[in-house]
Chain A
Amino acid sequence: MVEILSAEKIFPNGTRALAPIELTVAGGEFLTLIGPSGCGKSTLLKLIANLIEPSDGRIFWWSGEFRKVAASGRSLAFVFQDPTLMPWARVEANVRLPLDLAGVAKADSRGRVLQALARVGLEGFARDYPRQLSGGMKMRVSIARSLVTEPDLLLMDEPFGALDEFTRNRLDGDLVRLWWERRLTIVFVTHSIYEAVFLSTRVVVMGAQPGRICKVMPIDEPHPRGEAFRNSPRFAEYCRALSATLAEVSQAVTPTR
């Protein structure tokens, strides 16, 4: 789906954010990027989103250049760390924004907006303003906005990082169900080991200085996953293994001065 061929990123100030990276995102997978701060996981996600360009190497979207993505009828959506809602617009207008920008007629978009809101469990809140919602609900609106265009690839940059653990667990559960039901492809960035294990089909562990891929860990567990998986010994095992790998990776880059 997306092929990253030895893409690297060096910022103008000389910081080497990413060493050349090879990674392929397959259709239908839930890929999670995890690693210590400054390992370039957000940078990698932005490269995939084409929000920034690689300094060297190439990236292919569906075996083509990025500018051909729109013409081929495929689309990407990005969910940011913050809900990034427009405070002056009602929930429905916020969710409708990508359709409005693409020039979809109001009559067509209305049904799609309500459908997207229903998918994140916010049917009754279409006429509310963002300020009337809780943090978790705002994030749901943000996810509904990314789903409204039926994207082929959904990119999420620590979307639940600012939420309390209880809300985060609930949203994780809803997200993984949504992914399973809608056959989405998701690339997800997180700090949380539990979140990575619970959600992913594949976890990519990254290291810092420079940002690179250290290990790829498949999570071969059946879907749909729910609370039962979260409480199972297998879950704990995966977490332990991932935690050990992360510790190894962080150790390898003990700052030298």
Chain B
Amino acid sequence: MRPLAQSETALSIVAPLAVGVAVVLIWELACRIANIPVFLLPKPSDIAGKLANDWPDLLQVTPIVAIAPLIIILVKNTQVALTVCATVVAIFPIISNTTLGLRSVDPGLINLFRMNRASRWQTLWRLRIPSALPYFFGGLRISSGLALIGSVVAEFVAGTGGRSAGLAYEILQSGFQLDIPRMFAALLLITLAGVALFAAMMGLSRLALGQWHESEIGVET
């Protein structure tokens, strides 16, 4: 009886999958053969391509409140789970800003590097990365605030209790217990953490760009 049961389970998985694949294949083929314009019905391959290209945007538009419970279930260690949540929210401005920076290089300098037969690596290290630094630090500043939001939301959802309870959980608990002074204290501390993070990013940016970039020099000449 066992083999039959097993094959039945297998069938119950394989059959729907096969139908699904068949549908997608027919969809793809029909679109190709009938030459259906993309704006009416895009081919599955078009959609997959878009998905593969735009994954950072996907990350960006997925609300952290919605995804936090999933992350907390998937990741065993709560601390790590909270860090993952904060990272998911914070990473996007850094990625998009840095990409923009890597592309915004003075074309004259690109030509200069080409004239001097610079390798791709040399161009990246000596030209693209320094050019991208101001953008990267801009992203870092935005992300420092977002990371805090991410971790607070994640902690609301995770509801870590006990000794490792964070400030966000304190706020939640104070709400339940109507312990308003305690809530204000936690709020104040979170705000301070945000300010400290932001100041740290400003300091880093000043350290890296202070000598040369307009944003850090200000109007002096």
Contact = CB atoms under 8 A, between A and B. Distances in A.
Interface in A107-159: 129-131
A76, A97, A129: most-surrounded residue (chain B CB, <10 A): A97
A101 interface: yes
A241 to B, nearest CB: 34
Contact of A49 (B109, B115, B118, B213): B115
Contact of B130 (A70, A77, A86, A100): A86
Interface residues of B, number: 22
B115 A131 contact: no
A62 interface: no
Nearest to B220: A131
Size bracket, chain A contacts? 20 to 34
Which secondary structure dominates where chain B touches chain A? Answer: helix
Given A101-B122, A131-B221, A88 B213 contact: yes
Given A51-B111, A84-B108, A131-B221, A98 B212 contact: no
Interface string A75-90: 0111010101011110
B115, B133, B217: most-surrounded residue (chain A CB, <10 A): B115
Contacts of B158: none
Interface in B163-221: 209, 211-213, 217, 221
B116 A86 contact: no
Contacts of B133: 88
Contacts of A49: 115
A82 B108 CA distance: 8
A130 B211 CA distance: 11
Interface of A: 49, 51, 70, 76-78, 80, 82, 84, 86-89, 97-98, 100-102, 129-131
